Structure formats: structure tokens, C-alpha cells
Structure 1
């Protein structure tokens, strides 16, 4: 497994995702979206597993501040330039990715990696 967890230090679900993998002694790389933006390649890889619309946190302060509810905008570009617009955590293992805290899917990934 080659796990990456995209999130923020303040996000409770990001913390729970980190704890989930730490408890199982599965190494991961944590990318704090407050400090580092996601690359276009990383985003494209994630979009192979999830829908672009599902990545946008419509409850976020960034979404409100930029008044995106009422605007037409390039969603991919908005996410790349405003990393705090992402729903978190985004957990990525190669071409597979999830949004939010979904341990049932991660357990399946772990089982698949043992085969």
C-alpha cells in the first residue's frame, strides 16, 4: 500500500483516518492542505475514483467567501488554487481514493493488499 491522506490538522475525520491506519501499523503520508496544495496529477488520479462535484466542500468557509454557490466556475481549477475547498479527508492508495471517513472501504483495501 502507498497511502496518502489529504486533510487538515483541524479536521476531526482527517485525525480519525490517521488513527485508523496508525492502529493497524500501515504507513501513510499526511498532506496538510493548509500548507501544501494538491498537484494536478494527484487530483487527476483521485478523479479516477470519485466525482469532481463530490470533492467540493459546499459547507466550507472558502465556498461561502468566494460565493461559489451562485457562480459558474472551473471546479478543478478552484480546487487546485483553493485547497481548503476540498472535503476531507481524501485517502488515496494509487488509483483508488475515498472522501471522508470510510473505514469499511479501507479495511477492504488492507485485505486486498494481503492477497
Structure 2
């Protein structure tokens, strides 16, 4: 059986990110964690999540960071939108997790289980 590895984008201070990290570590799944506070997510990677979940899916519209970013008031092209999101990772619905072909946004245990199962 091939070894399962997931890539997780999040912030260390995010409770949902810590929950996801704990979920995978409890199941002995190797996690490649990218702390968005120190390294921004690439536009291509972010675009992959936006294409699957839409702009509303990747944004945490309840967060203070979303309001502070000015995103509710801006009309941006897709390229500008992705650049703005990369600048304000706390405005994202974290964590963003990729395991094989399965993507998840936020605290989504159903998708995490699919990643563990390797489907």
C-alpha cells in the first residue's frame, strides 16, 4: 500500500489548522505543512482550490481578516483576487488541504478520511 502524504496550507494559530494536523498525525499520515504566515501560497495552488470551491468557498467571510483585507468591497480580476488572498492568508477558510486528488477547505473531516483512504 503506497504511503499517503498530505499537503496542508494554514496558520499555526488557526484552531482548524491545528485540528487537521492532529487528525492526520493521529493516523500516522505524513503532513507537509506550509505556514502561510512565513511562506505565501502560490497563485497556482490557490487557484486549484478556488476552481473547485469557488471564491466563497475559500474565503472565511466571518473573519476579521476578511473585513480588514478590503475584499468585501473590491471588484477584482481573478489574478488580482488571488494576489490579494495570498497577501491576507487569515482571510482564507483554513486549512487548505490536498491529499492526492482530494482537496478540502476548512474543517472537513469527510474529505480528510478520503485522503487517508487514498481515494
The bucket for the TM-score relative to the shorter chain is 0.7 to 0.9
Q: In structure 1, which of residues 34, 38, 47 is the aligned counterpart of residue 37 of structure 2?
A: 34
- Unaligned ranges ≥5, structure 2: none
User: Which residue does the alignment assign to 1:72?
Assistant: 75
User: Which residue does the alignment assign to 1:25?
Assistant: 28
CA-to-aligned-CA distance 1:89-109 (integer Å, 9 cap, x gap): 111124421111111221122
Q: CA RMSD in A?
A: 1.9
User: Which residue does the alignment assign to 1:106?
Assistant: 112
Cα distance, 1:48 vs structure 2: 4.5
Q: 1:67 to 1:49 in 2, by over 3 A?
A: closer
Cα distance, 1:71 vs structure 2: 2.4
TM-score (norm 1): 0.83
User: Which residue does the alignment assign to 1:81?
Assistant: 87
Cα distance, 1:78 vs structure 2: 1.4
- Unaligned ranges ≥5, structure 1: none
User: Which residue does the alignment assign to 2:63?
Assistant: 60
DSSP-derived class of the 2:12 partner: coil
Range that drifts further, 32-41 or 92-101 = 92-101
Distance 1:95 1:48 in 2: 13
DSSP-derived class of the 1:25 partner: coil
